[in-house]
Amino acid sequence: MNMPNQIAIVTGVSHKHGIGAATCLELAKAGVDLFFTYWQSDSGWPETFQREIQELGVKCAHAEIDLSEPEAYLQVIQGAENALGVPSILVNNAAYSTRDGYEKLQVAEMDAHYAVNIRAAMMLSAAFAKRFKKAGYHAGSIINLTSGQAQGPMVEELAYVATKGAISAFTLSLSAELGSLGITVNAVNPGPTNTGWMSEELKQALLPKFILGRIGEAKDAARLIAFLASKEAAWITGQVINSEGGFLRQ
């Protein structure tokens, strides 16, 4: 894929093993300039990653932004425009997730999940589309990250699955609104992905469930996200794509 002269926003790029970082690398290899956001990353890592991206021959800027704040989406949009210009690609990758279950479920945790997973993604998408329209662009994309809540139960993750399910619903309706602008809107469910959080015990338990014989990696999701941002995927919109390596939930 070749996507020069485009600018992308990628949220939730907080460490080198994540889907956000892998997505930045895939887009940079295609010639896309990048503005990435993070929250509470290791000291110095964002600057190191920025240099890695720039070595691929594209422009890159970043900002530490707490997406749980109500006006954070404006910081993201304005930061990207000030550093690089008006973006044509938005990847809503940032997520908040804790374990709960019905006995532990608290209002504060529900609100925390909503703030990052839904409110930030929705408001950022709306602001992105407004800027896109004002700039007179004709082809763009929004890619949201969802989860496997529609594929089977995800116990003790009630707040998380509720907000991720809302992302899937939001994706379909927003795609209908933005189609006339030339913006495609899709969501990716990457399935269980080893982004550094899996213990060896968990890996061994999950491995037999992947019919392709290995656990999902961040680059698997990143390649799909980059494809959905490309002109080759211009006819795909309003879809939730379950890219799980054939993960078996039974």
Active site residue 160: yes
User: Among 109, 192, 105, which residue's Cα sits nearest to residue 148?
Assistant: 192
DSSP secondary structure letters along 212-241: TSS-EEHHHHHHHHHHHTSGGGTT--S-EE
Is residue 159 packed enough to be buried (19+ CB in 10 Å), middle (13-18) or exposed (0-12)? buried
DSSP state of 247: B
User: Which residue out of 38, 73, 96, 160 is catalytically annotated?
Assistant: 160
| Separation in Å, CA 92 to CA 20, 28, 103, 171 | 9, 17, 30, 11
List the beta bridge partners of residue 217.
194
Q: Which residues contact 121 (CB under 8 A, 6 or more apart)?
A: 92, 94, 144, 167, 170
Residue-wise burial string across 227-239, b where 16 or more C-beta atoms lie within 10 A, e elsewhere: bbbbeebeeebbb
- Active centre residues (catalytic): 160
